């Protein structure tokens, strides 16, 4: 009888892991704290490395049809004048996939449909995990479950990590993030690109995610800032009118506010029959757009190790060895980029913008080569 792998969390990392394991003939059982899998949340950009994985899983077309192709990534000043323009055409040709911007909930729905809802247990929020001969899982509804193999895909505040591994240190760069989705007719020039405008201690990014929908995010230094009192139109008044129009087109209930946090890199992601993936292992700030993509890559590496003939529990240590360096590089680079984007000093902003405009293309290429190349 095939053993069942129990996965805590039906986010993008947990669902991708479940699909990869299922396609390799393993039984999967997912415990998810939410009451349903539905299109909630904001947008996400699936970078080339993530789309390579979905191509291998046979769901590339489903995702492309539900999202929007992104061929350029632009960093601009507050008036949308380009500081850095990166064309992705080289990588589109090399890997035969494109970066895709999509609603996060739509992606979860595609993955859940592929896995099958029979494998997903909803309204199951883990409160305790104890290790004896088997793992004993206790949920907030007081139900319990025993499991020999557990994968913790339960996010930055992971119960699995906090109770079985070192708790880890959550780091706050003192930045607030607003995320929103609106319906607006974007100008043709914005249709297939991500734009991120950098101002004084704040920035605003936007991208089309479907025929009528635009996903946007806004970040600001949080010092002396009370998010609930911020009028975003006034707060970003010095930014380009196209940005203000996007904010104006967004209903209040479509805006989510949160602190930016990451997990200070930890070295231990696995122990015998349990392992951590995604944010539970290596949560990052969103500045490289690689949070979910690195979770997807975690799942890919587990699958690749299974293909080499290893038993699932024997893949965990090797997975950690293969993934640690890249994941930690992403976390640390993203942290640095976030600090650079939020400079408030006038001369510092001028210096930063000058450096961005004059950065050699080889530097951008080296970074993208590292990010897009699957382990």
User: Is the model's pLDDT at 41 over the cut of 80?
Assistant: no
* Residues 22-39: tens digit of each pLDDT: 999 999 999 999 888 765
* Residues 247-264: tens digit of each pLDDT: 999 999 999 999 999 999
Lowest mean pLDDT among 16-20, 35-39, 64-68, 224-228: 35-39
Higher model confidence: residue 22 or residue 356?
Answer: 22
C-beta neighbour count of 150 within 10 angstroms: 24
* Residues 262-291: tens digit of each pLDDT: 999 999 999 999 999 999 999 999 999 999
Phi/psi of residue 6, nearest 5 degrees:
-100, 125
For residue 101, the model assigns a pLDDT of 98
User: Is the model's pLDDT at 1 over the cut of 80?
Assistant: no
Report how far residue 284's alpha carbon sits from residue 260's, in angstroms, rounded to the nearest whole number.
9
Report how far residue 269's alpha carbon sits from residue 123's, in angstroms, rounded to the nearest whole number.
26
pTM above 0.85, yes or no: yes
User: Is the model's pLDDT at 239 over the cut of 70?
Assistant: yes
* Residues 45-74: tens digit of each pLDDT: 999 999 999 999 999 999 999 999 999 999
User: Is the model's pLDDT at 21 over the cut of 90?
Assistant: yes
Q: Are 250 and 181 in contact (CB under 8 A)?
A: yes
User: Is the model's pLDDT at 99 over the cut of 90?
Assistant: yes
Higher model confidence: residue 15 or residue 38?
Answer: 15
- Using CA atoms, how far residue 98 sits from 46, 101, 108, 259, in Å, is 9, 10, 19, 30
Report how far residue 224's alpha carbon sits from residue 211's, in angstroms, rounded to the nearest whole number.
38
Smallest CA-to-CA distance from 8 within 145, 167, 151, 128 is with: 151
How does residue 358 score in pLDDT terms, banded at 50, 70 and 90?
Answer: confident
Q: Are 365 and 311 in contact (CB under 8 A)?
A: no
User: Is the model's pLDDT at 86 over the cut of 90?
Assistant: yes
**What's the whole-number mean pLDDT along residues 181-210?**
95
Q: Are 354 and 83 in contact (CB under 8 A)?
A: no
For residue 166, the model assigns a pLDDT of 85
For residue 52, the model assigns a pLDDT of 98
User: Is the model's pLDDT at 229 over the cut of 90?
Assistant: no
User: Is the model's pLDDT at 362 over the cut of 90?
Assistant: no
Q: Are 122 and 35 in contact (CB under 8 A)?
A: yes
For residue 249, the model assigns a pLDDT of 97
**What's the whole-number mean pLDDT along residues 79-95?**
95
**What's the whole-number mean pLDDT along residues 87-116?**
95
Nearest-5° Cα angle at 185, 184 to 187: 130
How does residue 156 score in pLDDT terms, banded at 50, 70 and 90?
Answer: very high
Give exposure, 55-67, as e/b (b: 16+ Cβ within 10 Å). bbbebbebbbebb
Higher model confidence: residue 306 or residue 3?
Answer: 306
What domains, with CATH codes, occur in the chain? 4-171+262-372 (3.50.50.60)
Q: Which residues contact 294 (CB under 8 A, 6 or more apart)?
A: 278, 282, 284, 326, 327, 330
**What's the whole-number mean pLDDT along residues 92-121?**
95
The top-scoring range by mean pLDDT among 26-35, 225-234, 237-246, 343-352 is 237-246
User: Is the model's pLDDT at 195 over the cut of 60?
Assistant: yes
- Using CA atoms, how far residue 316 sits from 84, 150, 236, 275, 344, in Å, is 39, 11, 46, 6, 43
Mean residue pLDDT of the chain comes to 94
């Amino acid at each position: 009888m095939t053993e069942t792998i129990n996965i805590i969390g039906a986010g993008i990392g947990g669902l991708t892991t479940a699909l990869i394991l299922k396609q390799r003939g393993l039984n999967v059982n997912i415990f998810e704290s939410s009451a349903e899998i539905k299109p909630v949340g904001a947008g996400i950009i699936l970078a080339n490395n993530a789309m390579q994985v979905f191509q291998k899983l046979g769901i590339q077309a489903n995702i492309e049809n539900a999202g929007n192709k992104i061929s350029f990534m632009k960093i601009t000043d507050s008036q949308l004048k380009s500081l850095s323009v990166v064309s992705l055409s080289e990588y589109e040709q090399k890997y035969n996939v494109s970066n895709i911007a999509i609603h996060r909930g739509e992606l979860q729905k595609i993955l859940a449909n592929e896995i099958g809802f029979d494998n997903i247990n909803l309204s199951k929020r883990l409160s305790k995990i104890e290790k004896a001969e088997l793992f004993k899982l206790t949920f907030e509804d007081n139900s319990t479950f025993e499991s020999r193999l557990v994968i913790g895909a339960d996010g930055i505040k992971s119960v699995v990590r906090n109770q079985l591994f070192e708790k880890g240190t959550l780091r706050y760069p003192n930045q607030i993030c607003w995320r929103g989705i609106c319906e607006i007719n974007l100008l043709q020039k914005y249709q297939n690109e991500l734009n991120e405008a950098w101002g004084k201690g704040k920035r605003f990014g936007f991208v089309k995610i479907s025929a009528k929908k635009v996903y946007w995010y806004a970040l600001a230094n949080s010092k002396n800032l009370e998010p609930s009192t911020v009028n975003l139109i006034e707060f970003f008044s010095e930014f380009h009118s196209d940005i203000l129009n996007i904010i104006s087109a967004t209903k209040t209930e479509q805006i989510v506010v949160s602190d930016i946090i990451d997990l200070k890199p930890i070295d231990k992601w696995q122990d015998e029959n349990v392992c951590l993936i995604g944010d539970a292992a290596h949560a990052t700030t969103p500045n490289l757009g690689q949070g979910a993509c690195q979770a997807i890559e975690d799942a890919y590496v587990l699958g690749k190790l299974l293909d080499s003939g290893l038993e699932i529990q024997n893949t965990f240590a090797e997975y950690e060895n293969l993934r640690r360096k890249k994941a930690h590089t992403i976390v640390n680079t993203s942290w640095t980029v976030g600090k650079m984007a939020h400079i408030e000093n006038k001369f510092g902003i001028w210096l930063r913008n000058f450096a961005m405009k004059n950065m050699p293309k080889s530097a951008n290429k080296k970074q993208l080569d590292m990010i897009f190349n699957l382990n």
